[in-house]
Each structure stands twice: as C-alpha cells, then as structure tokens.
Chain A
C-alpha cells in the first residue's frame, strides 16, 4: 500500500526541541520531493518546508527559518523535521506530503495522517 506515516509528535515546553519523522512505503521514496505542512488549531493549512529528491535543495517558510531543519534518508525511505526553539504558535498537527510523480515542488497527491505537536508549559 502506498502510504506516509508520521511519528514523533508530543507535548513539549516552550524553547524545547522535537524531531518528527515521516516514513514512506509502497513507492520509490527517493523519486519525490517531500514536504511538511501543518494545521494549527482554528487555523488553515500552512506550508512549512520541503526537500528535493536528493536532499540538495531545502526551503522553509519564514516563521521557522533558523529553528527548523528538514532532512531525509532515502535508504530508510524517511524524511525528518528537527524543530528547535519551539513556540506556542508551533502547536499544530504536522503532515508530511508527497509531490506527484515527476513533480518539481508542486501540489501534493499523497498525505500522511499527521502527528500532533503541542508546545505548552
């Protein structure tokens, strides 16, 4: 089955760190751009960061630059999001999503079910 599964979400204090993981299966993970997207309570979807197939290009939304780092390990069919200096406004469900086949940082045809990150004291 083609799927993405996120893990690593938790309750963390402001200023703390967390590492999210996204595991892909049922497809050739290394062929696709991958993206993290979040949904905060009462808000809309927010594109967070993405990474090229070989990890050579990475992009971030301004609000997480310098605090979050996206990476991937194609040998493990996995993508990661290292989140440091967490703030209350980072509280959200974090989704990983995949570009369509042949995509070049386009739209998202496959989504995981999400993992909840709560930043609170």
Chain B
C-alpha cells in the first residue's frame, strides 16, 4: 500500500499570511495515459464531511477560492493557502488514488489562526 505522510501535523498562521502543507507518498503517484499525478486535497471542518479542494495535484475543484493551490509531482506535493482567512481553519488531508486500492489518505494537518 502507498503510505502518505503529511507535514507538519499542525500549524498556526496569522490572518492574511501564507500556509503551506506538505504531503509525501511512499512511491510515485505519477502515471497513466496522460502522465498525471493521482493526488487530491480535502478540507474538513469539525462536524462536517470532507470537501474536495484539489485533484490531479493542481486542479481546483468547482467553487474553491483561488487562494488555494496545489503543486508538486511524483512523490512530493504541496497545498498552499496564499492568504489565510478565518474560514480556512480546518484539517487538511492529501489522498492518493494511484493504482489499485486502498486509496490512502495522509494523517491530516490542522490549520489554526
């Protein structure tokens, strides 16, 4: 199984500042006919289900503000919140969907103000 490791486990960022979350996979998730990275990011607020933010490592989901961006390739990925807003306080997860299941998640990163 592919193991996903996020860093840091938690971070505190001032309003308007940049937040950066890293995600590393135990093997490359780059592949397929179109040479894509099989990596997604989710945001989960307490008492709510996860919300898809980013897929194919860098494509924003519909309705996601452009302060959220994803980057990286192969085994190393980053989610960046360019200017943190109060409503961005949440736990963020990366998930790989490369190859056969299980489609594993990182352990999560808690973002606070």
Contacts and interface: CB of A to CB of B under 8 A. Distances in A.
A105 B106 CA distance: 18
A105 B40 CA distance: 13
A111 B102 contact: no
Interface string B87-98: 000010101010
Given A105-B97, A106-B97, A109-B61, A46 B49 contact: no
Contacts of A71: none
B55 A50 contact: no
Q: Is the interface of B mostly helix, strand, loop or mixed?
A: loop
A111 B93 CA distance: 15
Contacts, number: 65
A55 interface: no
Sorting the interface of chain B by its residue count into under 10, 10 to 19, 20 to 34 or 35 or more gives 20 to 34
Given A105-B103, A107-B55, A114-B49, 16 more contacts: A35-B103, A45-B42, A45-B93, A45-B95, A47-B102, A61-B102, A62-B1, A95-B50, A105-B97, A106-B38, A106-B40, A107-B103, A108-B50, A109-B52, A109-B61, A112-B49
Interface of A: 35, 39, 44-47, 50, 59-62, 95, 100, 105-109, 111-114
